[in-house]
Amino acid sequence: MSNKILNLEPKAIWKHFYSLTQIPRPSKKEGEIIEFMKKWGEDHGFETIVDEIGNVIIKKPATPGMENRQGVILQGHLDMVPQKNSEIDHDFEKDPIDVYIDGEWVTAKGTTLGADNGMGVAAAMAVLESDSIPHGPIEALCTVDEETGMTGAVNLKPGLLDGNILINMDSEDEGELYIGCAGGVDTNVKYKYTEEHVSGGIAAFKIIVKGLKGGHSGLDIHLGKGNACLILNKVMLNASDKFGLRLAHIDAGSLRNAIPREAFATVVLPKENEELFLSYIGETEKNEKETYKDIDPDLAIVAEKADLPANVIDKETQSGLFNGVANCPNGVIEWDKNMPDVVETSSNLAIIKSDNGTINISVLTRSAVDDERDRVAKKIADNFKAYGAEVTHSGAYPGWKPNVDSAILETMKEVYNNKFGKVPEVKVIHAGLECGILGATYTNWDMISFGPTIRFPHSPDEKVNIETVKKFWEFLLEILKNVPEK
């Protein structure tokens, strides 16, 4: 049963993490978890604040003898990415996560786990609840909507928090300390289409792209994983030329910050081309499986007979869509010139959906350099505009510029070396941590990010390594003991 994780060590973290998995908390639907955290803080006698946007702040005074230490903010986000396999019956707004132990890992049955960032929030709760951990003044900052816009961080008001050291616990490789991150911007593409009536002599199919692993559109972008939106579009673009394929409906991808794993389209074509089309699908699947055999070996491309739709998307819009998507920059755009194994700039074509006369496409561009972020976003916009789309940008957020002279960085490197016998790696992460946004409001903060090892975040394969949770917790306690004096 899923509550077996309550027996894992350290129990202080796992019990709180389990309680978080039982409360629905998809991004922008955090009402229940906000109320839970507010009640939890008040029930423990802590000063508890819920700000206008829904961020929860819980404050705890220093333990005796630690009053002269600098104040620490333990930060994580309350929301989680709602991703599931298509065969799983799960409502992220109502159902708890079905958690279980799989060898050295904790994972979930067919859905995202929410270790991103339930682990960070659970660790903050464990520190707050303990009466035996020495620490200076502690504030837990639990933000909302990190995964779909960082609106919690963006709308955090100055003056609510007193500390000057921010420890973000939203990183996903134990033994690494992060001192910088990429910024990002969303490109929102819209095609308006008219419907054309379908007449006789037509065969209808549902094209399905499935079996891809997907993953985090920043952390996993360098792995070259298959993108379901692009694979489906490639199939349809070629089939439109070869067999007269017409698109009736498309539903590809689901989240702006996840590499799309599944894609579906309802299409029609002349009946006389049916056998050739099915042969083409089989050959295409074979070729694509060969392309992705190492990274996505379970890729499948299927064409199933479908009910004949009443209408299809007009030819001009279909052509603009297929060509716009085919020419959209995707994946790694630039590597960091000073750190060749670090991605500097990337884009992820994440979602394509048609409904009621409109096709909406979402692309997320990330970069450690804001000017590069904007340049690539403009290139994407210009591409789609050239094929007849309307394009806007939204949700731009800055990168977090590294501070190599960070005092808390030096403290944490020394503490980790003393505790585990090696110096942790110091890195910049190609993901959108909230530190850059928060640091723009609280300019006095010395910031750092770390966490346990989490694999395949933003996908149903998400899992957290049990042993690294223990190390993460032990490291956090040693940090709190060694926070510099004011």
Q: What is the pLDDT of residues 371-424, one digit of tens each?
A: 999 999 999 999 999 999 999 999 898 889 888 889 999 999 999 999 999 999
Q: Is the pLDDT at 356 greater than 50, yes or no?
A: yes
DSSP string, 102-121: ETTEEEESSB---HHHHHHH
**Distance (Å, whole) CA 392 – CA 74:** 35
Q: Is the pLDDT at 119 greater than 70, yes or no?
A: yes
**Distance (Å, whole) CA 330 – CA 41:** 43
Pairing of strands 47-50, 99-102: unpaired
pTM of model > 0.95: no
CB-based contact 401:345 (threshold 8 Å): no
CB-based contact 57:161 (threshold 8 Å): yes
List CB contacts of 200: < 8 A, sequence separation 6 or more: none
> For the chain, what are the domain ranges?
2-182+399-481, 185-397
Q: In this structure, what token pair is assigned to residue 315?
A: 């030819």
What does residue 80 show for φ and ψ, rounded to 5 degrees? -135, 160
Closest alpha carbon to 106 in 216, 215, 2 = 2
Q: What is the pLDDT of residues 232-288, one digit of tens each?
A: 999 999 999 999 999 999 999 998 999 999 999 999 999 999 999 999 999 999 999
Q: Is the pLDDT at 340 greater than 70, yes or no?
A: yes
Q: Is the pLDDT at 102 greater than 50, yes or no?
A: yes
CA dihedral 266, 267, 268, 269 (to 10 degrees): -150
Class for domain 185-397, per CATH?
A: alpha beta
The dihedral through the CA atoms of 237, 239, 245, 251 has a sign that is negative
Please give the span between the terminal C-alpha atoms of the chain, in angstroms, as a whole number.
47
Q: How confident is the model at residue 337 (pLDDT cuts 50, 70, 90)?
A: confident
Known catalytic membership, residue 47 = no
Residue tagged 């199939």 (tokens): 235
Of 336-340, 344-348, 441-445, 446-450, the poorest mean pLDDT is in 336-340
Q: How confident is the model at residue 333 (pLDDT cuts 50, 70, 90)?
A: very high
Q: Tell me, what's the pLDDT at 468?
A: 98
Q: State the catalytic residue, choosing from 79, 145, 285, 372.
A: 79
Q: Tell me, what's the pLDDT at 432?
A: 84
Q: In this structure, what token pair is assigned to residue 357?
A: 């006369």
CA distances from 439 to 116, 168, 363 (A): 21, 12, 26
Q: What is the pLDDT of residues 455-465, one digit of tens each?
A: 999 999 999 99
Q: Is the pLDDT at 173 greater than 90, yes or no?
A: yes
Known catalytic membership, residue 79 = yes
Q: How confident is the model at residue 1 (pLDDT cuts 50, 70, 90)?
A: very low
DSSP string, 310-346: SEEE-HHHHHHHHHHHHTS--EEEEE-SSSTTSEEEE
Q: Is the pLDDT at 229 greater than 90, yes or no?
A: yes
The angle that helices 31-43 and 115-129 make with each other, rounded to 10 degrees, is: 10
Q: What is the DSSP letter of 383?
A: H
Q: State the catalytic residue, choosing from 116, 139, 145, 146.
A: 146
Using DSSP's 3-state secondary structure scheme, residue 373 falls into helix
Closest alpha carbon to 261 in 81, 108, 102 = 81
Q: How confident is the model at residue 40 (pLDDT cuts 50, 70, 90)?
A: very high
Q: How confident is the model at residue 151 (pLDDT cuts 50, 70, 90)?
A: very high
Q: How confident is the model at residue 339 (pLDDT cuts 50, 70, 90)?
A: confident
Q: Tell me, what's the pLDDT at 2?
A: 63
CB-based contact 406:178 (threshold 8 Å): no
List CB contacts of 138: < 8 A, sequence separation 6 or more: 59, 60, 62, 71, 72, 74, 127, 128, 163, 480
Q: What is the mean pLDDT of residues 357-380?
A: 96
Architecture of the domain whose range is 2-182+399-481: 3-Layer(aba) Sandwich (3.40)
Q: Is the pLDDT at 103 greater than 90, yes or no?
A: yes
Average pLDDT of the residues of the chain: 96
